Structure 1
């Protein structure tokens, strides 16, 4: 399977690329700086912006055959890891990116989209532990939550075969199996965590089956 990844230079994206290549898939990665990824067999690196329709078109058309699926491991950035830190990314970066991607996918007949969203968005919000929910609502992360809600709305109405993966708190731990807590996260616990490597592994699996099409699986370890 040939894939287009957006956000491949990020921490989760790099794990996704590594596992996908190990499974025999080929990848085109659209990144702002080509130096942000190490060359590898089966990996084509294209420089550009995911917000620029022409750059996305170039990435899609750079391979002999169009990608079978698009994967998004992009994340909104803040000045520091603190949830109270000021956002650096545009407040609608994720939504705007998906608007560009969905249009390009429809033009090229690409049906499958797997996006890394986040637990706490939309109908999963009531199932977040109350103190954590306050942080999501009243800190710098609230901007990202609203943006993810926007992208989820776009994706749900896109007509594509989509999966919106909602990981809980991300860590840099080793790859493990994950447990799916439905589409909303009921019963996930008070301080659930999941490694970026585990999220990447689950997302690769989402591409290899239709099981999660039209779903928003909340995943934790």
Structure 2
């Protein structure tokens, strides 16, 4: 399999890259600056901007599926990326995309029709990042692509245990954290799933 990966230098994205390489897959990687660890025969690196369609398209060429670990980083990079990549996925005949979101864009359990970040189910006072992720979800929801948005809550650095809980469209009850290792492991597995139903998936211990 050839994977196009965006946000591959981040805490989750880098681990997805490592798993793909370990399994013998080819990785097309878009980065702002190349690092030593990217020197691998199965990694093809493009230095560019995830907000620019022409740079995104270079990475999509020949890809079977896409992973994005891009975050908001207090900018509109995430929403600009989503707007740019959606028509390119159609152009290149790529249906499968897995992205990392946030638990804030899952459904509220107690206030119908609202996201968690819009209610007291979320502890965050600032909502810019969640609003950016919500825009991405709403944009993908209007497509025919096979998308999955993995939505972790508090995300400390940590190893993969393989033991966690998931729930479609909702945050697992009483879950208060999930490691970067388990988030990457779960997201990577989603790239290989068959018969995909587009969905947001909450993940927590």
TM-score by length of 1: 0.82
Write the distance in 1 (CA, Å) between the matches of 2:106 and 2:179: 22
Where in structure 1 are there 5+ consecutive unaligned residues? 78-86
Counterpart contact for 2:29–2:45, Cα < 8 Å: yes
Closer, same or farther in 2 for the Cα pair 1:36/1:166, shift >3 Å?
A: farther
Closer, same or farther in 2 for the Cα pair 1:186/1:170, shift >3 Å?
A: closer
Equivalence map 1:135-214=2 (5 Å): 135-136=123-124, 138-139=125-126, 142-177=127-162, 178-187=164-173, 189=174, 192-210=176-194, 212-214=196-198
Give 3-state SS (helix, strand or coil) of 1:150's partner.
Answer: helix
Whether 2:97 is the aligned partner of 1:113: answer yes
**Residue 57 (structure 1) shift:** 1.6
Counterpart contact for 1:183–1:215, Cα < 8 Å: yes
| Greater Cα shift, 173-182 or 118-127 | 118-127
Encode CA deviations 1:184-217: one digit per residue, 9 max, x unaligned: 1151x1x611111111111111011136531111
Closer, same or farther in 2 for the Cα pair 1:129/1:149, shift >3 Å?
A: closer
Give 3-state SS (helix, strand or coil) of 2:139's partner.
Answer: helix
Map of 1:94 onto structure 2:
78
Closer, same or farther in 2 for the Cα pair 1:46/1:126, shift >3 Å?
A: closer
Q: Which of the residues 56, 63, 68 maps onto 1:67? A: 63
Give 3-state SS (helix, strand or coil) of 1:70's partner.
Answer: strand
Closer, same or farther in 2 for the Cα pair 1:43/1:103, shift >3 Å?
A: same
Counterpart contact for 2:147–2:199, Cα < 8 Å: yes
Structure with the largest fraction of helix: 1
TM-score by length of 2: 0.88
Write the distance in 2 (CA, Å) between the matches of 1:127 and 1:145: 7
Encode CA deviations 1:80-127: one digit per residue, 9 max, x unaligned: xxxxxxx3xx2x321111111111111111111111111011524449
Give 3-state SS (helix, strand or coil) of 2:12's partner.
Answer: helix
Runs of 4+ in 1 over 6 A off after TM superposition: none
Map of 2:11 onto structure 1:
11
| Greater Cα shift, 156-165 or 29-38 | 29-38
Encode CA deviations 1:12-69: one digit per residue, 9 max, x unaligned: 11111011111222110101111375312311111011111111122223xxxx1001
